Structure 1
Amino acid sequence: MKKYLSWLIDFGVSLLCWLVFYALSSLGFLLVFVIDGKKNRKRAVGFFHPYTNDGGGGERVLWCAVKAIQEEYPNLDCVIYTGDHDASPQSLMDRAIDRFGVKLLFTPQVVHLHKRKWIEEGTYPHFTMIGQSLGSLYLSWEALSKFTPLFYVDTSGYAFTYPLAQMFGCKVVCYTHYPTISSDMVSRVRERSSMYNNNSLIAQSIWLSRCKVIYYTFFSCMYGIVGSHAHLAMVNSSWTQSHIEKLWRIPNRIKRVYPPCDTSGLQELPLERPIDIPKIISVAQFRPEKAHTLQLEAFSLAIRKLDKDSRRPKLQFVGSCRNEADEERLQKLKHKAVELKVEKDVEFHKNLMYRDLVRLLGGAIAGIHSMTDEHFGISVVEYMAAGAIPIAHNSAGPKMDIVLEEDGKQTGFLALNVEEYADAILKLLGMPDAERLEMAGATRKRGARFSEKRFYDDFKDAIHPVFSHTLR
């Protein structure tokens, strides 16, 4: 009981401090805006993306968005707000091409942020979600104080910064990969389901679960209010769109823009590949929600169920590590492979260059994905474009937008638990080569629907009304 009381006290004090800070800072910034008006704003587009080294789909969206604006509005400077202190204009330009194959037209400007700790998970042992969200205010304060652009573009999902950007006179545009809070999250807490965002201690307690439902409900209201300040909100999938429309209640300002996937380059890979050792690839950051352990357990179970004469597969984990927590998670995964006695059948590839990722995709017959409620699933599309048949989680983006039939043909497998993933692996391994190639062909055709070209076209169409009206 003392621990529970301590949590409530921590929450109350933290919330009170942040509300006082928010009120005072809002008044201060409003005063600054009234006095200085529009003269402090630069004819530029500022991209709020504190982690420019995360290596995930969100970073790909950032660089493609920068390129799209450089193509459409070459007279506007593009400025990156980043907390990575070693980032320079040239290094970021090089990173875009080396890691994602995106060639920018001009080097972007860089504004370094020194307050990024206020949005890091470790800063908030409890009530992390609201702590990070309110902490983003402090970080955006630093960003906008150093450089105030005409357009403020958030590509990382920090909706609490939107009212502040408006106070600085910016037009607020965002690309939302997933809602910070959703009705699905609230339902899991109400049903007392244990997951990465609802630990077992809370799930086992009726009283704590009720408190968390109240907390989530309160946060949902706040999230809806701040999100409604966006002049344009682009979302990456049908699932994200439905949640954002319910929460922000600005349906006329919400546009679905599927994220950019390198389908053209990957489609050049041959569908036929050596299968003396069938390779299954897993591309995802080493984060808890990606559920790598489930993949490893399913792979281990599939191997145990294999016939003696069957070809023994190899599982290749490819991902990036943002911080020490991700590094620890990777090490635990390696230990788990040893525990399951599949360490000889598993490879780990950390922070690969894009060309090396393409090489691995070109040798895989399948790609595995296991995040629950993955907002979209760029890696799933990359599997498909490369001709690797996806085995994805039966929810959200993969279920609603991606792993659907193409010309009446199956394009992959959907699964929910270890047993279903293992069964899908076994079905794929037991499939005749001709049948597998036929499915891979349908898979590749389906993946072509989510090309970088489509992203560029849809992104430019979405921002045109806001940009053209402002730039008159």
Structure 2
Amino acid sequence: MSFLLILLSLLLPAIVSIVFLPTVARFAAVLVGHHLRRSSRTRRELLQARVASETKTHEAGQKSEKKKKDDDDWEQIGTTTSGLNSGKADSDWDGIVGFFHPFCNAGGGGERVLWAAIRATQKRWPQATCIVYTGDHDVDKAAILKRVKDRFNIHLYSPTVHFLYLSTRDWVLASTWPRFTLLGQSFGSLVLAYDAFTLLVPDIFIDTMGYAFALGLSSFLFPTVPTGAYVHYPTISTDMLDSLQAGGQGVNAGTGTGYRGMAKKKYWQLFAKLYSKVGSTIDVVMTNSTWTQGHIKSLWEPYRVKRCKAIDIDVVFPPVAVEEVIAAVPVTEASEANRGPYLLYIAQFRPEKNHRLILKAFASFLHSKPKLPAYPNETPKLVLIGSVRNSHDDAKRVYELRLLAHELNIKDDVEFICDAPWPQMLEWMRKASVGVNAMWNEHFGIGVVEYQAAGMISVVNESGGPKLDIVVEVDGKPTGFHATTAEQYADGFRKALSLSPQETLAMRQRARKSAERFTDRGFAEKWLANAEKLVALRIERTSR
């Protein structure tokens, strides 16, 4: 409670000042920012001492070992240029980069982006320190890094990555804000960001989860700290506003009618304006897909022009283990003998992933007793692989999905695998024929790229990244199928499993060719091109 009182006493006057007295607001921000820097000075010194100590210990243990080939490969990435006069912004820079990712141990595609970004940053600036602001109090550094290695096969240099634990993560949970959820969670992100700054004020502040308001607060309090956003999904979009109309899609479909609906639409419009103004304060903006870029540009760009901020919002496709999947999963005539009529859905067990739709579609497909010439003696099977975040809601959701499978009379034909390690996922990619994705307006779809890299034929939602960026034609021919309704998905399953052996292999090879656009190296190069802008801005602002 004392923390909240201090927070409110600092934030409320600042908010009032922003609205009524801009000059007073700037002065208040200077005072608050100075207070936070001073209060976190000791922790900064302790962190630097710890980095030095762990580095010394690590080097002593590695002294007799040869430098790994992976290190040599990644060194080549350090030659990217940002187009700015960054001078020595480069391998000698030894600042602290703060990554705002309160759910860093969730194990999803967003977390893969975080860890790949940290790995690239470590290789580019080996003397810099990466800190992650997280609310995962139940795991320590060793456990987190082990999961990163097991889940994503990403190896981080332990001495220069550290974790600072937030105590206010509940403020950004949707369950905390049953009404005015968008506004509530955005305010909650301010509380969470302030919590982070009381622990340590970084030299560069990057959000990799979508908390634009946290970046706005950083810009307000610390003008010399450059901010960067990697946007997976806009907090609000024109599609969301359109979904309120009759016939719309998503959880709010058709709720824009009547007085309550009109009020909700007005609230969303006002929030979109506020979100856009906050987005205009961010120095460097990256999006994970063409779809996300389009929405962010339409919302933020007009306000960024007014603030004279850079308007080149860059698409940086997320890193996918394409090379590793290609090496581990053959796509040949011989390998076809190892595949069965298995449908694989890799996704966190979250509501928006719409596992219920896939269960219903699979039940419809199965109960139609499809004739599959390529698999005359095998029964189709649906395999759901996903991480379960450390919450009661996720565990309950898996239980409810199991009940639904039972009700649909398909429980013996559906397998649930929670928190599967990477080798087990690869094994299923070798055996499965079809990859599935059901999320409406999926921002990108890392799992879908993995399907394609493994040569699976994808049946995905006709929206977002899977439609615009991933499951597209190659050489003028399809790499998969798009669907919206349960019936369309069932038809997609039927088509994918009914192709002739020649058509099947040809589509698998086209899918793999499509996946080669989304590699770890491609992500690292584009990430560093944007990160260099942030380092250059930091040097420029602190040298004035």
Do they superpose with TM above 0.5? yes
Amino acid at match of 2:167: H
Shift of 1:224: 0.4
Aligned to 1:31: 31
Q: 1: distance between equivalents of 2:344 and 2:106?
A: 19
Q: 2: distance between equivalents of 1:186 and 1:81?
A: 32
Choose the corresponding residue for 1:409, options 460, 477, 500.
477
Aligned to 1:319: 386
- Asked if the contact 1:18–1:134 (Cα under 8 Å) also holds between the matched residues in 2, the reply is no
- Mapping of 1:217-366 within 5 angstroms? 217-249=269-301, 250=304, 252-268=311-327, 269-271=329-331, 272-274=335-337, 277-307=340-370, 310=376, 311-322=378-389, 323-366=391-434
Q: Any gaps of 5 or more consecutive residues in structure 1?
A: 1-15
Choose the corresponding residue for 1:99, options 144, 151, 162.
151
- Asked if the contact 2:104–2:136 (Cα under 8 Å) also holds between the matched residues in 1, the reply is yes
User: Which secondary structure state, in structure 2, belongs to the residue aligned with residue 368 of structure 1?
Assistant: strand
- Asked if the contact 2:474–2:510 (Cα under 8 Å) also holds between the matched residues in 1, the reply is yes
Choose the corresponding residue for 1:155, options 176, 191, 208.
208
- Asked if the contact 1:274–1:363 (Cα under 8 Å) also holds between the matched residues in 2, the reply is no
- Between 136-145 and 274-283, report the one with greater CA deviation: 274-283
Shift of 1:367: 0.5
Shift of 1:214: 0.5
Matched residues, percent identical? 37
Q: 1: distance between equivalents of 2:40 and 2:12?
A: 26
Q: TM-score, normalised by structure 1?
A: 0.91
Shift of 1:433: 2.0
- Between 99-108 and 65-74, report the one with greater CA deviation: 99-108
Q: TM-score, normalised by structure 2?
A: 0.79
- Asked if the contact 1:49–1:156 (Cα under 8 Å) also holds between the matched residues in 2, the reply is yes
Change beyond 3 A, Cα 1:343–1:458: same
Shift of 1:465: 2.2
User: Which secondary structure state, in structure 2, belongs to the residue aligned with residue 152 of structure 1?
Assistant: strand
Aligned to 1:471: 539
- Between 401-410 and 75-84, report the one with greater CA deviation: 401-410
Q: 1: distance between equivalents of 2:421 and 2:17?
A: 42
Aligned to 2:258: 206
- Asked if the contact 1:70–1:106 (Cα under 8 Å) also holds between the matched residues in 2, the reply is no
Change beyond 3 A, Cα 1:276–1:285: closer
Aligned pairs, number = 454
- Between 124-133 and 216-225, report the one with greater CA deviation: 124-133
Deviations 1:358-383 (A, max 9, x none): 22122111100011111111111010
Q: 2: distance between equivalents of 1:427 and 1:194?
A: 25
Shift of 1:354: 1.8
Shift of 1:21: 7.6
Change beyond 3 A, Cα 1:211–1:469: closer
Shift of 1:92: 2.3
Aligned to 1:185: 240
Q: 2: distance between equivalents of 1:210 and 1:118?
A: 27
Aligned to 1:109: 162
- Between 339-348 and 296-305, report the one with greater CA deviation: 296-305
Amino acid at match of 2:494: L
Deviations 1:134-192 (A, max 9, x none): 10100110101111110001000000111211213421011000100000000111337
- Asked if the contact 2:288–2:315 (Cα under 8 Å) also holds between the matched residues in 1, the reply is yes
- Between 364-373 and 351-360, report the one with greater CA deviation: 351-360
- Asked if the contact 2:458–2:481 (Cα under 8 Å) also holds between the matched residues in 1, the reply is yes
Choose the corresponding residue for 2:172, options 119, 135, 138.
119
Q: 2: distance between equivalents of 1:39 and 1:471?
A: 23
- Asked if the contact 1:190–1:213 (Cα under 8 Å) also holds between the matched residues in 2, the reply is no
Shift of 1:312: 1.9
Shift of 1:76: 1.0
Whether 2:261 is the aligned partner of 1:216: answer no
User: Which secondary structure state, in structure 1, belongs to the residue aligned with residue 206 of structure 2?
Assistant: strand
For the aligned residue pairs, the C-alpha RMSD in angstroms reads 2.4
Q: 2: distance between equivalents of 1:435 and 1:240?
A: 33
Aligned to 1:373: 441
Amino acid at match of 2:33: F
Deviations 1:240-265 (A, max 9, x none): 00110111113624111000000001
Whether 2:118 is the aligned partner of 1:51: answer no
Shift of 1:120: 0.9
User: Which secondary structure state, in structure 1, belongs to the residue aligned with residue 439 of structure 2?
Assistant: coil
Change beyond 3 A, Cα 1:340–1:321: same
User: Which secondary structure state, in structure 2, belongs to the residue aligned with residue 190 of structure 1?
Assistant: coil
Change beyond 3 A, Cα 1:39–1:208: closer
Aligned to 2:114: 62
Q: 2: distance between equivalents of 1:154 and 1:25?
A: 26
Aligned to 2:68: none
Aligned to 2:75: none
Q: 2: distance between equivalents of 1:265 and 1:236?
A: 21
User: Which secondary structure state, in structure 2, belongs to the residue aligned with residue 449 of structure 1?
Assistant: coil
- Between 155-164 and 165-174, report the one with greater CA deviation: 165-174
Q: Any gaps of 5 or more consecutive residues in structure 2?
A: 1-7, 19-24, 45-94, 305-309
Choose the corresponding residue for 2:217, options 164, 170, 173.
164
